[in-house]
Each structure stands twice: as structure tokens, then as C-alpha cells.
């Protein structure tokens, strides 16, 4: 019998689920190797109770209902994989986690906004609530990272995901450095790779979507930005877009 897996989305854009469905060349191999029994984004008939070998969860946890759903997924799964930067770090929804929700509503809608807040708290990563066996960052998670994770996990191995910065992959493709050569605000030196330096390949400065590398030298890169007459806090804002809770935790 093939191992059963489930694919879930909490608060997020469902980009990871789309990217899983985008694994067109591998989909037949995937369904040949696993039984996808619970995947609301891909099927209207789902088994929401049976035991799972692996649960892939995208999105962040924004309220008690999602926390409960996550607990339920965790309880029925041998392995739980956080997919994408929302699940890994809190993501875009956690960008302003420190600002109160009524204040945010006011900022967005002005004084004529909805009178009462929705049932949405600050967005948090999955690891705040449950044990996460593997975290695959990215906005969205790369399709090939998903395939690699499935392949390794089915063999009982932890997949080796990049821990090095985007610069490695950028240099491997011999792109002219956007930060050094063109003075563009590239977050590549402090951002985890895995994207194959996709944005720099299109002459777009890295926005930091895979989250910061371990021991990111923020002090140094802020100075570099300043010296290139880029807004000094731009690098921080870029990384905060995807991984604000990580940066806040490091500051503590």
C-alpha cells in the first residue's frame, strides 16, 4: 500500500498548493509513489481522518480555528512539513505582527473601515504550535523542493535543503551582481537559496522570500545599502516581508 499524504492550506495565498499542482512532469510519479488522500486544493473528495505518513501544510496560523486544524493534522501525521515562508516563518501575514489588528484595520481602511475586527490575530509560523519535521521556505515553495522532499522522506531521509545564501546560486549562473555592479537593493547575500537566483536572473533584486540565512550579517548589509545610497532599512523591510518573526526573535 502506498503511503498516504495530505496537503493543507492555512492562512496564505495557496501558492504552495498551486506549485504542487504545477509539478506537471512529476505528478504521475508522485501519485505513483504516494496516495494523496486529503487535498482540498486539488480534490473535492477527501479523507479527513485517516492516518497520514506525511502532511504538507502551507500558510500561517492566524486564529484559534486554524490552530485547532493544525493540531488535528499533526495528530494524524507521522511527519509534518511546513511548506512556504508563511508556514515556516509567518510570512507576509506576520509582517506587521507587532501592530494591533484594530490599528492595522485603521491603517488600511481609514476611519470608515469595519467597526469590529475579524477573527484574525497576528500570523504565526507552524512551529509556534506543533512540532515541524521539515521546513521548506520560499514564496512560494519551489516545486522541485517539494518533489525532492517527497523523494527523500519516502526513503526515510531528511532532504538536504540549501542553507547557503542566494549568492552561491547567482554566481553559479554567472549573473552580474546586481548589488555590486548596479547598486540595486539585493537581499541575496542574506537570503537562503533554493530559487536558483530566479529574480537576479531577470535583473530583479532578491526580495528575500526564502527567509534570512542563519547568522545573517544584518549590520554589514545595512551599511552596504547605506553606502550605496539605498534606504538603509530597505534590507530589513525586505526580509520582514517574509520572515518578520525570525528577525524579531533574533533581536530579542
Helix (H, G, I), strand (E, B) or coil at 113: coil
Smaller CB separation from other proteins, 87 or 179: 179
CB of 188 to other proteins, least distance (A): 7
CB of 210 to other proteins, least distance (A): 14
CB of 226 to other proteins, least distance (A): 6
Smaller CB separation from other proteins, 3 or 121: 3
CA geometry: angle 227, 229, 233, nearest 5 deg? 90
CB of 81 to other proteins, least distance (A): 15
Strands 134-136 and 52-58 come out as: unpaired
Helix (H, G, I), strand (E, B) or coil at 220: helix
Smaller CB separation from other proteins, 41 or 159: 159
Cα separation, 87 vs 126, in Å, equals 5
Smaller CB separation from other proteins, 94 or 205: 205
Cα separation, 14 vs 126, in Å, equals 15
Among candidate residues 223, 175, 174, the one with its CA nearest the CA of residue 203: 175
Torsion angle, alpha carbons of 170, 205, 17, 74, to 10: 80
Smaller CB separation from other proteins, 92 or 230: 230
CB of 163 to other proteins, least distance (A): 6
Got the DSSP string for 31-54? HHH-EEEEETTT-SS---SS-EEE
Smaller CB separation from other proteins, 86 or 221: 221
Tell me phi and psi for residue 155, to 5 degrees: -85, 0
CB of 2 to other proteins, least distance (A): 9
Cα separation, 9 vs 57, in Å, equals 6
Smaller CB separation from other proteins, 114 or 219: 219
Helix (H, G, I), strand (E, B) or coil at 58: strand
Residues lying near other proteins in the complex (CB under 8 A): 26, 29-30, 32-33, 147-148, 150-152, 154-158, 160, 163-165, 167-168, 171-177, 179-182, 188-190, 213-215, 217, 219-221, 223-224, 226-227
CB of 39 to other proteins, least distance (A): 17
Cα separation, 195 vs 214, in Å, equals 17
Amino acid at each position: 500500500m502506498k503511503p498516504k499524504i495530505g496537503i493543507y492550506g492555512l492562512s496564505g495565498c495557496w501558492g504552495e498548493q498551486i506549485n504542487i499542482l504545477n509539478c506537471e512532469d512529476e505528478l504521475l510519479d508522485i501519485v505513483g509513489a504516494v496516495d494523496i488522500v486529503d487535498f482540498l486544493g486539488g480534490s473535492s473528495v477527501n479523507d479527513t481522518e485517516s492516518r497520514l505518513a506525511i502532511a504538507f501544510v502551507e500558510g500561517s496560523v492566524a486564529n484559534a480555528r486554524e490552530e485547532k486544524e493544525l493540531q488535528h493534522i499533526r495528530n494524524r501525521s507521522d511527519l509534518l512539513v511546513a511548506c512556504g515562508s508563511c508556514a515556516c516563518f509567518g510570512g507576509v501575514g506576520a509582517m506587521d505582527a507587532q501592530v494591533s489588528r484594530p490599528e492595522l484595520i485603521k491603517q488600511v481602511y481609514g476611519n470608515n473601515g469595519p467597526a469590529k475586527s475579524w477573527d484574525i490575530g497576528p500570523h504565526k509560523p507552524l512551529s509556534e504550535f506543533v512540532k515541524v519535521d521539515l521546513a521548506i521556505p520560499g514564496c512560494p515553495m519551489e516545486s522541485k523542493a517539494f518533489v525532492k522532499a517527497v523523494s527523500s522522506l519516502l526513503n526515510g531521509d531528511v532532504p538536504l535543503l540549501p542553507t547557503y545564501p542566494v549568492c552561491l546560486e547567482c554566481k553559479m549562473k554567472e549573473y552580474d551582481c546586481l548589488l555590486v555592479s548596479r547598486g540595486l537593493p539585493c537581499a541575496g547575500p542574506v537570503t537562503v537559496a533554493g530559487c536558483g537566483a530566479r529574480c537576479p536572473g531577470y535583473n530583479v533584486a532578491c526580495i528575500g522570500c526564502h527567509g534570512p540565512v542563519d547568522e545573517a550579517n544584518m549590520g554589514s548589509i545595512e551599511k552596504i545599502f547605506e553606502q550605496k545610497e539605498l534606504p538603509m532599512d530597505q534590507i530589513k523591510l525586505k526580509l520582514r516581508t517574509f520572515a518578520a518573526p525570525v528577525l524579531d526573535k533574533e533581536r530579542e
